[in-house]
Amino acid sequence: MSNITLHWKLSHIPEQAVKKHCKMCGKLSIFTDTNVRRHNANGKSIYRFAIYKCEKNHTWNKKLAIYKTFSEHVAEIGEQNDESSIMSNIPITSLAELGVKVIHIVLDDVAGKHRIDKVLANQIEDWSRSQIVEKIEKGTILLNEQVIKPSSRLSKGERISIFI
């Protein structure tokens, strides 16, 4: 296997803000959802967090859900389900180990405005935003087979190609 194709629907995720006391600032601050999600394993439980940041960039991890792991399945026992995003994070490193050379992402639907660098930075945990920007500029990440700017907006029907 040398390439895979993913289908994405980009939804309009409104920025969520929460008023909360920031320990670092020592005052009530407005924390904004970065849309970054993180999983932490702790024994037989997996915690899913949303990363929020205050105006001064201090981080707050909001717990979203707890998953219990059993031998075979993973069952969700946690509170609310968060955003109804159907996208899953791209495990770039694991895919590279499996011999994947190119990942194609077909945008089946796009609602709202989405910059390519931001979307990819949110979905690829193994690569930082600056690494993604560099790859877009070098042309190892293409949009519709063309070199584009990191700030390019995505539209329905377009195709992103990532050369690992």
Rg of the chain's alpha carbons, rounded to an integer?
18
Q: Could you say which of 58, 62, 104, 118 contacts Zn ion (CB under 5 A)?
A: 58
31 forms part of the interface with Zn ion (CB under 5 A): no
25 forms part of the interface with Zn ion (CB under 5 A): yes
Indicate the residue type of 106: V
Nearest approach in angstroms of CB 50 to Zn ion is 17
Nearest approach in angstroms of CB 15 to Zn ion is 17
- Token couple for 146: 């063309």
30 forms part of the interface with Zn ion (CB under 5 A): no
148 forms part of the interface with Zn ion (CB under 5 A): no
- From 29, 98, 28, select the one nearest 57 (Cα to Cα): 29
54 forms part of the interface with Zn ion (CB under 5 A): yes
Nearest approach in angstroms of CB 130 to Zn ion is 23
When the beta carbons of 18 and 87 are compared against Zn ion, the nearer one is 18
The CA distances from residue 34 to 2, 59, 119, 137, in Å, are 33, 10, 11, 24
- Applying CB under 5 A, what is the total number of residues that bind Zn ion? 7
CA distance 100 to 53: 34
- Token couple for 25: 């600032």
Interface contacts to Zn ion, rule CB under 5 A: 22, 24-25, 29, 54, 56, 58
